[in-house]
Amino acid sequence: MGKRKGFTLVELMVVVLIVTILAAVAMPLLSGRIDSSKWSEANAGAGTIRTAVRAYFAENPTAAQTLSGGLDVAATQAVLGFSAQDLSGGFFVPGDYNIDSVNAQGFATITVTGGSLPRSPAGSYTMAANGSWNKN
């Protein structure tokens, strides 16, 4: 009888152990990246709102400075030129976006709160008047 080729049970168990350790280390790293990519959608939506507020400010500065509230309000959407579907994405809906204030130069401060959809991330971020994106 010739020599048998193959892996022993101990060798297979060592490989399974190594793969399990690698998976345990990689999962928290990947989940953080997934949440970060979800918040990228919110950042893009907030930037779009910020641009619309700025355009509205150019036409009507006094009325633009009084803008505030959620983007789920049809009147606010109409003033800024949005339809109901424009801010609906995979993880955020119009009600997740809130215009906190508009400064004297027409730059809006916008807060985005997650968690309204089943797969959306929890927490909130704010796009400040200077354009910075900060976790609350």
- Residue 65 included in any domain: yes
Distance of CA 38 to the CA centre of its chain: 4
pLDDT digits (tens, 9 = 90+) for 4-42: 788 889 999 999 999 999 989 888 888 778 888 899 999
pLDDT digits (tens, 9 = 90+) for 80-116: 999 878 888 899 999 999 999 999 999 999 999 998 8
pLDDT value of position 87: 87
- Residue 84 included in any domain: yes
Read off the pTM: 0.78
What confidence tier does 1 reach under pLDDT thresholds 50, 70, 90?
Answer: low
Give the separation between CA 106 and CA 136, rounded to whole angstroms.
23
- Residue 29 included in any domain: no
pLDDT value of position 4: 76
Residue closest to 109 by CA, chosen among 94, 128, 124, 125: 128
Domain hosting residue 129, numbered range: 41-135
Give the separation between CA 45 and CA 49, rounded to whole angstroms.
6
Q: How many domains does the chain have?
A: 1
- Residue 24 included in any domain: no
R_g (Cα) of the chain, nearest Å: 24
Higher pLDDT, 5 or 119: 119
